[in-house]
Structure 1
Amino acid sequence: MLDPRDLALELYGAVLEGGSLEPQLAAVARALKAETGFISRIPLASDAPPGTRATALYAIDPDILAEYETDWLRHDPRVAVALRQPRGVLSFNRLCPPRDFARSMFWNEFGRRRISGSGFHTLSASVTEPDDTIGVLSVHRPQGGEPFGAEEEAFLAALYPHLRGALQAESRLRLAQARAAVLEAGLEALPQGIAVIGRHGRLLHANAALRAMAALRDGLALTPAGLDLADPAARQALRHALDLVLAVRSGRVRLLPDGTGLSIPRPSGAPAWVAQALPLRAGSGGPFADLAGAVVLVADRTRRRPPSAVLLQRLLGLTPAEARLAAGLAAGQDLRQQARRRGVSPETLRSHLAAIRRKTGCRRQAELVALVLQTCA
């Protein structure tokens, strides 16, 4: 039998290369002298989850596995046993004795008909993955074959910590890729130009609106180093603004200071671009959370839009109530008007306003309105 450490290195190598673990898991099945093998990912919410995914690894007809996944997995007595057990190596000869398994509806109505005796003896390893699913690697031997014994269990137990680490790492990468896709789609849909800036000042992402602005070659350009502004004074102002917001991001400064907004002159003579630098606050989540330090919003003053409470909530770290208040103030509604419209007391809104000022660093209401208009321009 192969050395588990060799297979462990292959598992980690596949994760680092960003590839699928299926070839390495198939090698595990072969090392265990299994006739078939597959991996299931079962949501933790239910013993009979409709969202279960099963992937063939070794010598299983995909059509049979698809029928199992769709119609029969919830009736498999071994699945119910696996969900009740602590995560680890599971020998179903002990947990679900062959005599009991042979009497199950699953075996008699599906197993005998579709898998011709294969899959009767099962050895599994289960792992709780970061996306709230259980990953279950299952390998099988036919009904008339030799059951999995102590040697195979010891082999899988030695491999298990590495199997768990590889499956969890693969799951985290899959989640990060999904979040990145959602975030990118959201940024692409925004009318404001948005640049995500790394903690060391380099450009991590520019959305479609900002790329379109840069394509005009009218005072700003995009380079790997970040936003490149044609006007020297604006370039210096942007550098200063990023220094300030990165200080907030690092925790050296608690409140967002003045000086994080700027105008970017346009050589064409069109109204200047309006830019606002904001910190990406720790704990904001998303694929950029650890790498990014700031976002820079760039707006065209000729395309003024009503303030968006949702955008303010996300970018300024406000609660929904605070974001609605800030958007209303920027739209010209005073505290009393908003209190009447929302059915709350002015004192409640004053409390919200104080919280907004603490979060944004704006000392006066006029500064807050200017910040909101720049953010939502």
Structure 2
Amino acid sequence: MTDSDIHDTIRGLYEGIVDPQAWQRSLQNLRRASGSTQMGMVVLDKRSDRMSVIELANPVEGLAQAYQQTFQALDPGRSFTPRMPLGGWYIDARELGVGTLSRHPFYGDFLHRYGMGSVMACLVDRQPYYEVFFSLQRPLDGPLFAPEDARALDWAIPHIRQAMALRERTSALTALQRLSMQLLDQLAFGVIVFTADARVLLHNGEGEAWVRRLVPNPAAPRMGTGTGTGDEWTLSRPFAAMVRAACDASAPVPAQAAMAQSRQGARAQVVVLPLPPSHALGQAWQQPAALVAIHDARGSSPLLPQVLRDLYGLTPAEMRLATLLTTGIGLPEASEQLQIGRETSRTQLKSVFIKTGTNSQAQLSHLLTQLSATLKAPVAEPNGAS
């Protein structure tokens, strides 16, 4: 390989941390430079003692599948893996001898059938439960692998190992980010993070519609929410000023709140809290941000009755009354909606107070609101399944 080819391969390995095509391009460069037909990353799961091929460059049709399903048990190289150091090479002609290659069933019954004649592999990662090998296969009509072939690729091994470690860390961070967003989306109220100039850094599903409501785009057409309430909301105080006050690096306002109201009379509470420059999203900007939480006056979660039964042993009648009271109506109105007598509703409410440890409708409403905050209703799939 020329210096230019080497530099391009190294660059592709590190770009491959986030770009699979760049990673594959570098593997192809190494495959061609080594005179191999196929190259792959092979993982040994120490718990199951099974090998699996996770990536291939120029795959030979059927070879990897046949190896994983049938012929890995015949692989003579597996007996050498426990003694291999990190960065060490297994070279079949050196370890087994040329005569063994011609007689061993792993070659006669497997590799030769796929046109392969020689194998070389480097141990690039060793963990308590698995090991990863950088494996190359040469064609049957080509020369057998020799130590000088391994030495010609030694320069690439540290870069492969480092890029693999960085890819694994990046993958773990991506998985954590997805989990974090899933947790935020589970909240039954809107969450948005704004910069001082009202740019959105993140929001959960409930907060998505509120981005347009709190920072409307004058050029965008007015759109309804799909529930008939519309998206035209007014706040009791300027939202941009609240965000700037929360993002004041010298003296951020600890907490601010405003009442939001739609043209149809729907209401919501908007709370703005400061996030310091050390927040997780601050690295790229090194500036404060504002956390905005929006609580609207929707009904209780359909999952709340199940939680009330599990936590407090409420009966179905008590659960219906308790959840209805969270909407803000009084006991007489709840009695009428449930079509029960006033005395019956008072008896049920007294039982709910005793079971939940509350003493008033205000305390009960506060408790149920807290429980509902993380009980977002499951989203139905298009086919009707949840």
TM-score greater than 0.5 by the shorter chain: yes
From the superposition, tell whether residues 172 and 103 of structure 1 become closer, same or farther in structure 2 (CA, over 3 Å).
farther
Partner of 2:24: 22
| Matched residue type, 1:120 | S
Q: Kindly provide the CA deviation profile for residues 2-32 of structure 1, in whole angstroms up to 9, marking residues without a partner as x.
A: 4444422343344465634112111101111
Which of the pair has more CA radius of gyration? 2
**How many residue pairs get matched?**
302
Question: Do the aligned residues in 1 keep the contact of 2:36 with 2:138 (CA within 8 Å)?
Answer: yes
Partner in structure 1 of residue 188 of structure 2: 191
Classify 1:374/1:36 alpha carbon distance in 2 versus 1 (closer, same or farther; 3 Å).
closer
Between 98-107 and 63-72, the greater mean CA deviation after superposition: 98-107
1:157 aligns with 2:154: yes
Percent identity among equivalent residues? 20
Work out the CA distance in 2 between the residues paired with 1:200 and 1:86: 54
**Deviation for aligned residue 1:290:** 6.0
Q: What CA distance in whole angstroms lies between the structure 1 residues aligned with 2:76 and 2:234?
A: 65
How far apart are the structure 1 equivalents of 2:12 and 2:210?
A: 46
Deviation digits for residues 161-201 of structure 1, max 9, x if unmatched? 22222333333444444444444445445432122456997
What's the C-alpha RMSD, in Å, of the aligned pairs?
5.0
Distance 1:196 1:274, change over 3 A: closer
- 1:142 Cα shift? 4.4
- Residue in 1 aligned with 2:35? 33
Per the alignment, in what secondary structure is the counterpart of residue 85 of structure 2? Answer: coil
User: In the alignment, which residue of structure 2 is the partner of 1:122?
Assistant: 120
Give, in whole Å, the separation in 1 of the partners of 2:275 and 2:255.
Answer: 10
Give the aligned residue type for 1:122.
Answer: M
1:262 maps to 257
1:206-285 map, 5 Å: 206-214=203-211, 217=213, 220-221=214-215, 230-241=235-246, 259-260=254-255, 262-268=257-263, 269-275=265-271, 277=273
Gaps of 5+ in 2: 218-232, 305-325, 327-353, 358-362, 376-386
Name the aligned partner's letter for residue 221 of structure 1: V
Q: Residue type of the partner of 2:267?
A: P
The Cα of 1:231 is off from its aligned counterpart by: 4.7
The structural deviation recorded for 1:160 is 1.5
Aligned to 2:299: 303
* Secondary structure of the corresponding residue to residue 148 of structure 1: coil
CA deviations on 1:100-159 (whole Å, 9 max, x unpaired) are: 6666664454334x324x142324352359x98644221123467433334322221112
What is aligned with 2:49? 47
Q: Which amino acid aligns with 2:114?
A: I
Q: CA deviation at 1:67?
A: 2.4
Determine helix, strand or coil for the equivalent of 1:120: strand
Matches within 5 A, 1:162-177: 162-177=159-174
1:39 Cα deviation after fit: 2.3
> More displaced, 102-111 or 64-73?
102-111
The 1:267–1:43 alpha-carbon spacing in structure 2 relative to 1, beyond 3 Å, is same
